[in-house]
Amino acid sequence: MVKRIAKKFSLGKLAFLTIFLTIIFLLVLFYSHILNPTSIKKTTFSSYRNNINYQVFLRNNNFISKPSLGMNQAYIASMVDSIHVSFGQTATFQKMTSFHYDYTIYAKLSAVYPTENGEEEIWSQVYPLKVQDTKSVREKMLSITDQVSISYWDYQAIVNNFKNTYHLKVDATLDIIMDVHYEYQNQEAKSSSLLLSIPMNQEVFKITTDYKKEDSVVQTEEVSNMTMPAFVVLFFLVVIGLSDIFACTLLFVKLLQLYSITEYERMKQKIKKDYGSIIVDVDNAIDFSNFTIFEIKTIEELVDLEEELRIPILFYEKKKARICYFVIIKDHYMYRFTLRDMEQEII
């Protein structure tokens, strides 16, 4: 069955059909993502913008007429009265989200002492300033702002009392910290800290801050790569795959027919192709006993004789015996070139 169909197609058509079906099969397989039906997609679940602003209020003095100084300056400690700190955080969500949040603002006063390994904290004390209890909300954006006023000399008095009590020469720092905590449904909790640091026990000091100005929470989810139902994809893959296998089989048969002929067949076809204009096929059996036969060694010699005598070459084959004859007959004489299948060599 396969051989009969293969005869109806040329080698070029079969090769083109096979390549075409293979490409279609691979395209369906690739675009359907049947081998990788899902992939991991990362999206920004929420983003955060943080900021800290502060203002340093001064005692009455004869040198600075302004009641307060702005940020990022050097401050004379004896002129400072209080420091107003404002914390802010804006949370933006990808979609309307239900969550819980709370925050605390506290002051941490700590003392460090120089040791062989550098400075080490030897004392600290935490002073709660503000506490926001847990709130449950459903929002797409949340803005948190709060502020505290720090009495500089109240904390400086605590540092001086500690130094005088234990007669230690220490460096002290007052940290004002806002801790914000979120809890989401089906998401990990999110915490962030905004810190403002005030050096203590210095004649002139600068305030520093430490916090992430921007932050985000990234969520991962499995996304389906299937552009159509899986059973439809499998159906098309099976149909195209079977068609491709059948076309490959036909191509194999064609190639087998092309490259599996014997030397006998090859030589016979070559002679008939090269000298087809002067060769006549004979279906009836030739009775060689009626002629005086002259055996010709090569087909070229027989062709030269044909040109000399102007008599066509007759071709007769005994297919079962796999032997054929190219002959020229003149009167009772026969000039014969014989081609035999001496071996079954596959080319």
Q: Is residue 347 part of a domain?
A: no
User: Who wins on pLDDT, 251 or 82?
Assistant: 82
Average pLDDT for 230-250: 76
Domain match, 335 and 193 both: no
Residues 230 and 277 in one domain: no
- Asked if residue 51 is part of any domain, the answer here is yes
Q: Which range of residues forms the domain containing residue 271?
A: 263-340
Same domain? For 148 and 207 the reply is yes
Given this model, what pLDDT does residue 325 score?
95
- Structural domain ending residue among the three candidates 163, 198, 223: 223
Mean pLDDT score, 78-92: 96
User: Which among 325, 324, 327 is positioned nearest to 313, based on CA atoms?
Assistant: 327
Query: Which of 173, 196, 223 corresponds to the end of one domain?
Result: 223
In this structure, the answer to whether residues 65 and 190 fall within a common structural domain is: yes
Query: Does residue 84 belong to any structural domain of this protein?
Result: yes
* 193, 177 Cβ separation under 8 angstroms: yes
CA 82 and chain centroid, separation: 56
Give residue 330's pLDDT. Answer: 92
Residues 29 and 86 in one domain: no
Q: 48 versus 266: which is more confidently predicted?
A: 48
Beta bridge partners of 142: 91
> Has residue 7 got a pLDDT over 50?
no
* Residue 197 binned pLDDT confidence (cut-offs 50, 70, 90): very high
178 assigned to some structural domain: yes
Domain boundary among 223, 243, 275: 223
Is 300's pLDDT higher than 80?
yes
> pLDDT band at 10, cuts 50/70/90?
low
Question: Is 94 within the bounds of a domain?
Answer: yes
Calculate ∠ Cα 73-75-81, nearest 5°: 125
| Total number of domains constituting the chain | 3
Structure tokens at 103: 């925050």
If asked whether residues 28 and 46 sit together in one domain, one would say no
Q: Is residue 345 part of a domain?
A: no
Q: Which residue has the higher pLDDT, 42 or 155?
A: 155
**11-15, 294-298, 311-315, range with the lowest pLDDT:** 11-15
* Pair of tokens at residue 26: 């691979």
- 3-state SS class at 288: helix
pLDDT, averaged across the chain: 86
The answer on 13 and 162 residing in a single domain is no
pLDDT above 70 coverage of the chain, percent: 88
Residues 84, 119 within the same domain = yes
Identify the pLDDT of residue 157.
95
CA distances to 46, 47, 50, 204, 221 from 216, in Å: 6, 4, 11, 37, 16
How far CA 315 is from CA of 219, 280, 284, 325, in Å, comes to 83, 6, 10, 6
Is residue 40 within 8 Å of 224, Cβ to Cβ?
Answer: no
Short-list 253, 284, 267, CA closest to 340? 267
> Confidence class of residue 3 from pLDDT cuts 50, 70 and 90?
very low
Domain shared by 134 and 239, yes or no: no
18 or 7, which is more confident? 18
219: nearest Cα among 194, 193, 184: 184
Greatest distance between any 2 Cα atoms in the chain: 150
At residue 230 the predicted structure's pLDDT band, cuts being 50, 70 and 90, is low
Please check whether residues 219 and 230 belong to one and the same domain: no
* 242-281 pLDDT, tens digit each: 887 887 887 777 777 666 677 888 889 899 999 999 999 9
Averaged pLDDT for residues 176-204: 92
